[in-house]
Amino acid sequence: MTDKEIQKMLENHEKRISALEGIKEKLKVPRKKKASITQLILELKSDGFFNKPKNWNDIQKALAERGRVYPLSSLTDPLQRLVRKRELGRIKIEKKWGYVKR
């Protein structure tokens, strides 16, 4: 094989590889980012869920109704962060904390 033939062969391979890479990029489907627990709680707030005080069980049930099942232990940190950021308020009801809209 001559140098020119090798050069043409390499150019042909480069074109084919580029075309295949273009097809591969088109086939990639962007994935949606999962909403965090905090974002889901803020969605509940915007829907008026916290107009009346709600306890952990109420919040857990509301999230489950939306198809998001979390153990109670997963809710404590996000709720505390939202209280500290003053996104939610917290009041004592019968020796338990109730979370309300601020």
CATH of domain 37-101: 1.10.10.10
Q: What is the pLDDT of residue 26?
A: 66
Q: What is the pLDDT of residue 66?
A: 92
| HSE-CB for 2 with a 13 A CA cutoff | 3
- Are 24 and 64 in contact by the 8 Å Cβ rule? The answer is no
Give the residues of the chain that fall short of pLDDT 50. Answer: none
Q: Work out the mean pLDDT of the chain and round it to a whole number.
A: 88
